[in-house]
Amino acid sequence: MQKNKFARLCDDICANCKIDCCVKWSPTISEFDKARIRKIEKDENLFDGNLFNTPDNRCPFYNKAKKGCGIHEHRPLDCRIYPYSFWFELGRLDLWLDTKCPIAKKIVADEKFYKSAMETAKSELVHWSEGEIYAYLMASFNIDKFKKEVKGDKKNVFYRKEK
């Protein structure tokens, strides 16, 4: 199968990246993702809810030495659209770009990558339950940190001092 422009770009940049996001990140896994992964991996204990059942919930299919995914064609939606992640705001789907990723610097100005990730997200999210989407959106939201920031304990994007 011929790789698309985005896949070739990822191969080139990921091979030399020092961030190693696949090692430090725990993708959220929907039932739709699980069904796709179970086509190649039958282990009944592979998942713990919507995460991988490993001590740190990290993906057991990532080969750190080769910097490669062992289930690339069957990987979860989180991995399929990275460095984007999805979000819902005012009733519409949007994608956010992880600006720490070196690929983000290359694709931020290219609308084709955003459109491709959005098409992928839309085609898969229709298979997610409401609970899976809610759990995904809330997984990275730290309510205590948000409350401190809103109170003005720190300067940040959530809090703007009134003049």
For every residue of 13-76, DSSP letters joined together read HHTT-SS-HHHH------HHHHHHHHTT---TTSEETTEESSTT---TTEETTTTEETTGGG--
> Is residue 40 assigned to a domain?
yes
> Is residue 163 assigned to a domain?
no
> Is residue 158 assigned to a domain?
no
Residue 110, pLDDT > 60, answer: yes
Residue 10, pLDDT > 90, answer: no
Residue 102, pLDDT > 80, answer: yes
CB 118 within 8 A of CB 93: yes
Q: Residues 111-116: what's their mean pLDDT?
A: 86
How many domains, the chain?
1
Average pLDDT over the chain reads: 81
Q: Residues 101-119: what's their mean pLDDT?
A: 84
> Is residue 141 assigned to a domain?
yes
> Is residue 67 assigned to a domain?
yes
> Is residue 159 assigned to a domain?
no
Containing domain of residue 27, as a range?
Answer: 5-151
> Is residue 60 assigned to a domain?
yes
> Is residue 110 assigned to a domain?
yes
